[in-house]
Amino acid sequence: MSAKPNAEAEIQALLSDLWQRHLPAMHERLAVLDRTAQSLIAGRLPEPQREEAQSIAHKLAGNLGMFGYQQAGSIASEIEQALKEQTPELLKQVPHLTLKLREVLAPYLT
């Protein structure tokens, strides 16, 4: 039975190391979502930017869940869905959701 806590500690150490190596990409992906939110606030979201942001939100939803950040993964899924459906009601939520995603992830982004 004592091997289980060791295995769990090793898995956590590996995930922590992987997270640290993944941080530059995470920051870039969040920056793309920030730019997309600003474009939506300005009232102009070019289609290529929307497609890129939707793809990034999809990747974030999966990656964040893998790292155990379920709340952040759910927020990324909401962003993805809003960008996919493109209804005015959902699109106007993207800036708020992007800010909320950053707030939830803030303790882990250093």
The dihedral of CA 39, 83, 59, 74: what is its sign?
positive
Alpha-carbon span 73 to 39, nearest angstrom: 23
Token pair listed for 109: 């982004």
66 band by pLDDT with thresholds 50, 70 and 90 = confident
CA dihedral 49, 42, 24, 15 (to 10 degrees): -90
Q: In terms of residue numbers, what domain contains 86?
A: 3-108
The 10 Å Cβ neighbour count of residue 16 is: 11
| pLDDT band of 100, cuts 50, 70, 90 | very high
The pLDDT-based confidence of 14 (bands split at 50, 70, 90) is confident
This prediction has a pTM of 0.88
Total domains, the chain: 1
Q: Looking at residue 98, which CATH number applies to its domain?
A: 1.20.120
Residues 6+ apart with CB under 8 A from 40: 91, 92, 94, 95
Residues 6+ away with beta carbon under 8 Å from 80? 54, 57, 58, 61
